[in-house]
Structure 1
Amino acid sequence: MEIVVRQGDTLSQYSQLFMIDLQLIHDSNRTIPHNSLSVGQRIRIPGFVTQEYQICQGDTLASIAQSRNLPLDAVYLVNPGINPNNLKETQIIKVPRRITWRLVNGRQSYDYAKLMKDIERLLEVYPFLQVPSIGNTVLGKNIPEILIGSGGKRVHYNGSFHANEWITTPVIMTFLNDYLLSLTNQNSIRGLSTSRLYEQTTLSIVPMVNPDGVDLVLHGPPVNEHLRNRVLALNNGDTDFSGWKANISGVDLNDQFPAKWEVEKARNPNHPGPRDYGGEKPLSEPEAIAMAELTKKRDFTRVLAFHTQCEEIYWGFGNLEPPQSEDIVEEFSRVSGYVPVKTIESYAGYKDWFIQDWRRPGFTIELGHGINPLPISLFNEIYQKSLGIFLAGLYL
């Protein structure tokens, strides 16, 4: 929601008026000098939208504000120049409305188009978010990163490395939405104050690492005849892509990282296909390159990669993980009921590479039980179990 600056206004005044943390207002207006507002300048207030209201007989601005539990000044700020003594029936004014409900509907088939639409809606209401691109997919889709927070602890979450594990994306996006609601409504989540998390942590989220693959699983092969024929051939002629984990080129993105890549390569398929092919060399695919470059750029404190199957948490790699990884995974297990597993015979994954090269805590979180892709009917159960992990990833 935008308001127009009047003589003598300050951001602190807006913070008190709308009951929004001052830091959120600062971060929603990054290009504006905070100590020198100009009359007529437009300021974005997070967590609010404006709605049109038609004046009825007997209405006053005070009665309209009171009926919506708003300070009168809030109504003036979204209606610059309005004359309260000259309201006319059928006149249209704007009224602020606080967002108290989710904008993300995670309990549905969640493809790339839905993700991008939800990001756009969240950005409109929560302009303190930043959404840079980390790169593009094989088919040229932008891979968005979402940044939230202003703290020195740099935490990263990602989902949908594997195409048929796409349910991880709406789970992550639902957590993000709940985090935003908590911040702008000054509510806790499971008794935890999120304003402190925002101040201490910068959270990086790549909700869909593999958009081409997700769309392939959900919608079938592309219209382009050459590409369609290629992916059908890689899928043995089958039009059912529910078993597809790879990117559109048939490379498994979570077998693409230089962490014993040769070992994984030797025991997996030696040609592109629906799963487990690690490519001709590490970091050959644009999606994997984008994730590697992002990780180097951000210098994360810890990373959590969300996958599906087994309700387990993998937290080790070659005994290179730091001692605090065990303490962290024990807390993850306590708040979720998931089983910690230090090592498995699997290499070349994103968290493996992170542990190996940074010697910092990295985790692969396996959500849910069943056959991939997990049915959306399990969404609520998965979200409730994983919510504690999302929170602990920030407060530990």
Structure 2
Amino acid sequence: MRKSILIILCMLLVLQSTIISRQAEARSSTVVDPSTTYTYAKLTRDIQSLARKYPEIMEYRSIGTTRYGREIWAVGLGRGEATLFINGSHHAREWLTTTLNMYMIEQYAAAYTANRKFEGYDARTILNKTKIWFVPMVNPDGVTLQQLGLDAFPSSVHQALITMNGGSRNFKRWKANLQGIDPNRQYDSYWSSLEANISYPFWRNHKGSSPVQTLENKAMVNFTYEIDPEIAVSYHSAGRIIYWSFHTLAANLPRDKRLARLFSDYTGYRLMPQRSDSSGGGYTDWFITTFNRPAFTPEIGISRPRL
């Protein structure tokens, strides 16, 4: 099982290293179009279409519902027992990571169904031995606000959202969920000592009043325990860097660094140095310290000045 997981990770890296440069190459025969704005509505339609197109290898279900009624979709690909977990869009403005998740799902499913190799790897053999779970959009309310603005939500909450956005009606910078809580500062790993916290609901960096407070985070924690993955990958943006360690046990550092170097070699992304004083609260921080297994946070795309 461990060998199959490593091979799947290699497949993942090959695809991830090329997708952004291929956004304009979407074909009419495919479901996922990576050149468009990837909304929650499109995500839902595409998951349903892919499940109809690839019933032999794909399943999906909701793992929770947001306060505003959007499902947090999980997509399973494969038949095996060894499990890899990939997720995206903890942060609303980083929805290109959802596009990446969905593009992976379709490419792997197509290779499996056609019984062809993917970049030299036998997709059918690998996915018969393993399973990849995806949660492509962890924070669908936040993504919807960032993309569509106030009109996507009841007028009764508009003023509160404007206040959390520093008085602005432009939500392009928005990272949080609709309660002004950052989902990637909510996990119970060094949460109490988390640095640079904003103490009130805001468009960024508010960790909430307790760990795993939000519906989104509860769904992610419960689902992770349920599928019990061997490796987790949580996509963010931007900077073309990879976070790979967080208070990692000394015995696990050689294993995790070997995988991190593999990730770096395939993508060209720079490995961030291992630190024991990192702040915490993120999904991979929690996964590493809770399960003592490898987890990676790749930051895709070109870094721009932070808002």
Shorter-normalised TM range = 0.7 to 0.9
Question: Structure 1's 251 and 223: CA in aligned 2 closer, same or farther, altered over 3 A?
Answer: closer
- TM-aligned CA deviation for residue 370 of structure 1: 3.4
- Determine whether 1:340 maps to 2:271: yes
Aligned position for 1:216: 145
Between the aligned partners of 1:320 and 1:363, the Cα distance in structure 2 is 15
Match of 2:184 among 246, 254, 263: 254
Between the aligned partners of 1:331 and 1:111, the Cα distance in structure 2 is 32
- Determine whether 1:114 maps to 2:47: no
Report the number of matched residues: 274
- Determine whether 1:136 maps to 2:33: no
Aligned position for 2:217: 288
Alignment of 1:181-200 (within 5 A): 181-200=110-129
* DSSP 3-state at the match of 1:132: strand
Aligned position for 2:24: none
- TM-aligned CA deviation for residue 248 of structure 1: 0.7
* DSSP 3-state at the match of 2:117: coil
Match of 1:162 among 91, 103, 106: 91
User: Deviations along 1:226-272, whole A, 9 cap, x unmatched?
Assistant: 111111111122111111100011000000011110111x5310001
Q: Is the 8 A contact 1:102 1:181 kept in 2?
A: no
Structure 1 stretches of at least 4 aligned residues deviating more than 4 Å after TM superposition: none
Q: Is the 8 A contact 1:154 1:203 kept in 2?
A: yes
- TM-aligned CA deviation for residue 346 of structure 1: 3.2
Aligned position for 1:329: 260
Aligned position for 1:28: none
Q: Is the 8 A contact 1:165 1:372 kept in 2?
A: no
- TM-aligned CA deviation for residue 319 of structure 1: 2.7
Between the aligned partners of 2:170 and 2:149, the Cα distance in structure 1 is 7
Between the aligned partners of 1:187 and 1:280, the Cα distance in structure 2 is 50
Between the aligned partners of 2:67 and 2:34, the Cα distance in structure 1 is 26
Between the aligned partners of 2:118 and 2:29, the Cα distance in structure 1 is 14
Between the aligned partners of 2:196 and 2:64, the Cα distance in structure 1 is 30
- TM-aligned CA deviation for residue 151 of structure 1: 1.3
Matching residue's letter, 1:125:
K
- TM-aligned CA deviation for residue 372 of structure 1: 8.5
- TM-aligned CA deviation for residue 126 of structure 1: 0.9
Matching residue's letter, 1:105:
D
Aligned position for 1:303: 232
Q: Is the 8 A contact 2:190 2:279 kept in 1?
A: no
Aligned position for 1:238: 168
Between the aligned partners of 2:66 and 2:274, the Cα distance in structure 1 is 30
Query: What is the percent sequence identity of the aligned residues?
Result: 33
Aligned position for 1:376: none
Q: Is the 8 A contact 1:320 1:355 kept in 2?
A: no
- Determine whether 1:318 maps to 2:247: yes
* DSSP 3-state at the match of 1:131: strand
Between the aligned partners of 1:371 and 1:217, the Cα distance in structure 2 is 18
* DSSP 3-state at the match of 1:304: strand
Aligned position for 1:179: 108
- Determine whether 1:226 maps to 2:156: yes
- TM-aligned CA deviation for residue 101 of structure 1: 3.4
Between the aligned partners of 1:185 and 1:319, the Cα distance in structure 2 is 40
Between the aligned partners of 2:273 and 2:234, the Cα distance in structure 1 is 15
* DSSP 3-state at the match of 2:98: helix
- TM-aligned CA deviation for residue 207 of structure 1: 0.3
- TM-aligned CA deviation for residue 223 of structure 1: 4.1
- TM-aligned CA deviation for residue 320 of structure 1: 2.7
Matching residue's letter, 2:263:
F
* DSSP 3-state at the match of 1:332: helix
User: Deviations along 1:134-183, whole A, 9 cap, x unmatched?
Assistant: 11112121111001111121100000000000000011101111111111
- Determine whether 1:146 maps to 2:79: no
Aligned position for 1:359: 292
TM-score by length of 1: 0.67
Between the aligned partners of 1:209 and 1:100, the Cα distance in structure 2 is 28
Between the aligned partners of 1:372 and 1:177, the Cα distance in structure 2 is 32
Matching residue's letter, 2:51:
L
Alignment of 1:34-53 (within 5 A): none
Matching residue's letter, 2:93:
N
Structure 1 segments unaligned to the other structure (5+ residues)? 1-98, 374-396
Moved more, 222-231 or 209-218: 222-231
- TM-aligned CA deviation for residue 343 of structure 1: 3.5
Structure 2 segments unaligned to the other structure (5+ residues)? 1-26
Matching residue's letter, 1:260:
Y
Between the aligned partners of 2:286 and 2:153, the Cα distance in structure 1 is 36
**Which structure has the highest helix share of the two?**
2
